[in-house]
Amino acid sequence: MQTSEKSVDGDGPSHPRGYSVLSLLAAAAGRHSWPRAWRSRPPRGAYDAVIVGGGGHGLATAYYLARNHDMSRVAVIEKGWIGGGNTGRNTTIVRSNYLLKETATFFEFSLKLWEGLSRELNYNVMFSPRGVVNLFHSPQEREALLRRQNAMILNGIDADVLSLDQLRRLVPALDTSGGARFPVAGAVIQRRAGTARHDAVAWAYARGASNLGIDIIENCEMLAIETQAGAVSAIETTLGRIETTKIGVAASGHSGQIAAMAGFRLPIETHLLQACVTEPIKPFLDCVVSSGTLFVYVSQTAKGELVIGGRLDGCNSFSQRGDLAVLEENLSNAVTLFPRISRLRIMRQWAGAVDMSMDGSPILGPSPVPGLYLDAGWCYGGFKATPAAGWALAHVIANDEPHPIAAPFALSRFAEGRQISERAAGPRPNAH
Ligand code: FAD
């Protein structure tokens, strides 16, 4: 702390970055009002487009509508608060380690956007390419992962195999003793993959969109969709009626309800996916470790907490709590991988309502109702899709034509029997 300089507001010694001690104390005491990062306003009567859902996908869509397509007479309506859905509930893994051409192309496009996102939005989203490690425990799993690694390389995506010795050096805390029920035999790593700060992503896109003229309206739920001659003409919300001929749906677990408002069904079920964090400990894990056999994955936050996630709860629900039995199973699997964490306490546990599509891939593009565009079915893995999903949804809203990276994910694929199932292509190394 420098004490010789006067602060910017002249009320005492200043921090090298320009904050005075008094202003920091005032902020800590809640008496400092930070400027709002985005404008908040009641809805106008009409917009060129309305985005339903103020998670990362909806906010990114609004940002790219303004940035890429000069459309700023746009509102994002959010029934709760910005980032309060799955965007603020996920385990923040960002990767593009997919087998199939369609998914690999889409998620690699997204990863490239992640790599420049903090600079693009002038906001630190804490993207941390710390590597995502997928363990193999059996010869079959090794074969499946090596096939995936080869496919990734053919698709121009980085992927390396780790021998048991290399794995031991990278993740010393992992139980590689061979005495486990499913002994670890090696791994595949995507080094450019990693994590990002989920809330910051929502806030950054919200600020970016707001700066480009988009209206961000919280506590505003869409209740009904009006059509004229079969096409979207207006919506009814808890804050009144809004005229618009274009709606982008980025409502994750609530996509099915919104499709019902428009009079059709989506091949989507809403399930709970839960996660938890332990008390913070000294840094001991600097990559994400995932086991497809045990269906669990573990990473460590900058604060020192271990983030642990695993399988779906397996029942349809919109609650955001999660079942104790699944938590117990996820934890016991994490302890199998890392026996030394067995005495850590769990600090928080939560769940999100995720939109599970029938083939595990998203639905991104036009819907059967003209003017209604879908961004749904992200299952376990839509956080990493945030920039690309926003990019592609903005494209289809602006041009009424799917973006090339999103074209394979049309809703019509289910009627045509053209599923994009990573699962059908072989055992999946992880789901998140
Ligand atoms: P959300 O952030 O859920 O935003 C949708 C918004 O729509 C919500 O805020 C909701 O309130 C609003 N809404 C709904 N209905 C209406 C309405 N009628 N009117 C107005 N607003 C409405 N993905 C990864 O890539 N990596 C991971 O590691 C990962 N881990 C996960 C772990 C857990 C526990 C969970 C639950 C999910 C995980 N995911 C992960 C998935 C990821 O979180 C989601 O796919 C992604 O966040 C979806 O973003 P979104 O913006 O579409 O949805």
- How far apart CA 86 and CA 375 sit, in angstroms, is 14
Contact 424, 183 (CB under 8 A): no
As a whole-number percent, the residues of the chain with pLDDT over 90 amount to 85
Local structure of 241: helix, strand or coil: strand
Atom of ligand 1 nearest to the CA of 376: 52
Q: What is the pLDDT of residues 61-89, one digit of tens each?
A: 999 999 999 999 999 999 999 999 999 99
Closest Cα to atom 40 of ligand 1? 381
Half-sphere exposure of 36 (CA within 13 A, CB side): 8
pLDDT score of 431: 56
Name the band, by pLDDT with cuts 50, 70 and 90, for residue 32: low
pLDDT > 70? residue 1:
no
String of DSSP letters for 273-311: EEEEEE---S----SEEEETTTTEEEEE-TTSPEEEEEE
Who's near 404: CB < 8 A, 6+ residues apart? none
- How far apart CA 131 and CA 304 sit, in angstroms, is 17
Q: Does 54 contact ligand 1 (Cβ within 6 A)?
A: yes
Name the band, by pLDDT with cuts 50, 70 and 90, for residue 136: very high
Least confident of 17-31, 253-267, 355-369: 17-31
- How far apart CA 251 and CA 309 sit, in angstroms, is 22
pLDDT > 50? residue 3:
no
Q: Quick one: average pLDDT of 406-414?
A: 97
Output the six-digit token pair for 52: 């339903």
Atom of ligand 1 nearest to the CA of 221: 19
Q: Does 312 contact ligand 1 (Cβ within 6 A)?
A: no
pLDDT score of 40: 84
Local structure of 156: helix, strand or coil: coil
pLDDT score of 6: 31
Q: Which of 383, 391, 428, 430 to mutate to test the pocket of ligand 1 (most atoms within 8 A of CB)?
A: 383
Calculate how far, in angstroms, residue 90's C-alpha sits from the geometric centre of ligand 1: 8
Q: Quick one: average pLDDT of 369-376?
A: 98
Name the band, by pLDDT with cuts 50, 70 and 90, for residue 339: very high
Contact 85, 237 (CB under 8 A): no
Contact 51, 58 (CB under 8 A): yes
Calculate how far, in angstroms, residue 163's C-alpha sits from the geometric centre of ligand 1: 36
Residue 49 host element (H or E)? strand 49-52
pLDDT score of 424: 57
Contact 61, 390 (CB under 8 A): yes
pLDDT score of 321: 86
Q: Does 256 contact ligand 1 (Cβ within 6 A)?
A: no
Name the band, by pLDDT with cuts 50, 70 and 90, for residue 163: very high
Q: Which of 59, 90, 378 to mutate to test the pocket of ligand 1 (most atoms within 8 A of CB)?
A: 90
- How far apart CA 383 and CA 380 sit, in angstroms, is 8
In the chain, the amino acid numbered 173 is A
Q: Quick one: average pLDDT of 130-145?
A: 96
Contact 193, 132 (CB under 8 A): yes
Closest Cα to atom 45 of ligand 1? 382
Q: Quick one: average pLDDT of 33-54?
A: 92
Closest Cα to atom 35 of ligand 1? 90
Q: What is the pLDDT of residues 191-220, one digit of tens each?
A: 999 999 999 999 999 999 999 999 999 999
CB atoms closer than 10 angstroms to residue 115: 15
pLDDT > 80? residue 432:
no
> φ and ψ at 150, to 5 degrees?
-65, -45
pLDDT > 70? residue 43:
yes
Q: Does 356 contact ligand 1 (Cβ within 6 A)?
A: no
Half-sphere exposure of 17 (CA within 13 A, CB side): 4
Q: Does 254 contact ligand 1 (Cβ within 6 A)?
A: yes
Contact 421, 267 (CB under 8 A): no
- How far apart CA 5 and CA 32 sit, in angstroms, is 21
Number of H helices, E strands in the chain: 11, 19
pLDDT score of 295: 94
Name the band, by pLDDT with cuts 50, 70 and 90, for residue 423: confident
CB atoms closer than 10 angstroms to residue 21: 15
Q: Does 56 contact ligand 1 (Cβ within 6 A)?
A: yes
Who's near 248: CB < 8 A, 6+ residues apart? 49, 50, 51, 52, 58, 61, 373, 375, 393, 394, 397
Q: Does 333 contact ligand 1 (Cβ within 6 A)?
A: no
pLDDT score of 261: 98
Average pLDDT of the chain to the nearest whole number? 92
Atom of ligand 1 nearest to the CA of 88: 2
Least confident of 7-11, 32-36, 285-289: 7-11
Contact 314, 325 (CB under 8 A): no
Calculate how far, in angstroms, residue 74's C-alpha sits from the geometric centre of ligand 1: 21
